[in-house]
Amino acid sequence: MLTVTVDGIPLHYRDVGQGPCVLLLHGCPLTGSSFDAQVKALSGRYRFIIPDIRGFGESPLGDGPTEMSLIARDALALLDALKIDSIVVGGVSMGGYAAMALLREDAGRVGGLVLMDTQATADDAEGKARREATAQQALESGLEPIAEAMVPKMVAAGMDSPVGREVAAMMRSTTPAGMAAAQRGMGLRPDSKDILARYAGPALIIVGEHDPITPPAKAKEMAGLITGARLEVIPGAAHLPNQEQPERVNAVLDSFLASLQGPNA
């Protein structure tokens, strides 16, 4: 198991493949293995760096809320440890919020941006209250009721499908404290529209056609803020297209990553 110690916390990560480096940040409450299909299909051409965000998968939880800026700083510390100067940064949902936070912390590091089923806007008061309720529910009742409520929203094929079961298993592997800290951290995130408007590099925005959590309108808003951004709507997917429609997402991702290498790549 690969780990890098940041603030005394041994953070688990995957470092797989050869080629230009791609950092992928997972959603909540998932783990780095949510990108297994991308690694399997594309690691012959790209080097994937995929942390388990603190409080998820094999990475222990730190103190306080898991703020998006903290996830970004953990990822930057990992890149420092691996001596990687420039990288394509991608994130799904919470991982997308963290990717935007990373852009805020160190835009010079980002050679390309992939935002999947996420949004640039902060939570309103109602959204923040919902997050606190979810944090409390996790602490009081564990992840099972949350998985039962969330999987049908996140996966178009529902709980009773191979991908639904895979996502539910990742959710159940999350500790209540890890979930609560991430919910509170997401509630604290700032609006990132300014960050996207300032970003001048290549960008790919992906969204599931039926995503009820961060719907296509949110993806269009992000794409509209970044000059030259490419927007891809994935038919038949909800909130987790990279797991629901991996072949489609892999093709889109591969074509975007290849375009960054120039015509002779």
Say whether residue 94 binds ligand MLT (CB under 6 A): yes
Q: Is 222 helix (H, G, I), strand (E, B) or coil?
A: helix
Compose the 14-43 pattern: x for residues touching ligand MLT by CB under 6 A, - for all others. -------------xx---------------
Task: Report the residue number, 209 or 254, with the smaller CB distance to ligand MLT.
Answer: 209
Task: Report the residue number, 94 or 180, with the smaller CB distance to ligand MLT.
Answer: 94
Instruction: Please state, in angstroms and as integers, the Cα–Cα distance from residue 235 to each residue in 59, 66, 204, 216, 246, following that order.
Output: 33, 32, 16, 11, 12
Task: Report the residue number, 20 or 95, with the smaller CB distance to ligand MLT.
Answer: 95
Say whether residue 233 binds ligand MLT (CB under 6 A): no
Task: Report the residue number, 13 or 31, with the smaller CB distance to ligand MLT.
Answer: 31
Q: Are 211 and 236 in contact (CB under 8 A)?
A: no
What's the burial of 157, exposed, middle or buried (CB within 10 Å: 0-12/13-18/19+)?
A: middle
Say whether residue 70 binds ligand MLT (CB under 6 A): no
Say whether residue 179 binds ligand MLT (CB under 6 A): no
CA pair distance 59, 22, nearest whole angstrom: 20
Task: Report the residue number, 136 or 255, with the smaller CB distance to ligand MLT.
Answer: 136
Among 81, 82, 177, 213, binds ligand MLT (CB under 6 A): 213
H or E, element range at 110: strand 110-116
Q: Are 161 and 240 in contact (CB under 8 A)?
A: no
Residues in binding contact with ligand MLT, number by CB under 6 A: 7
CA pair distance 35, 190, nearest whole angstrom: 26
Q: Is 206 helix (H, G, I), strand (E, B) or coil?
A: strand
Say whether residue 93 binds ligand MLT (CB under 6 A): yes
> Which positions lie near ligand MLT, rule CB under 6 A?
27-28, 93-94, 186, 213, 239
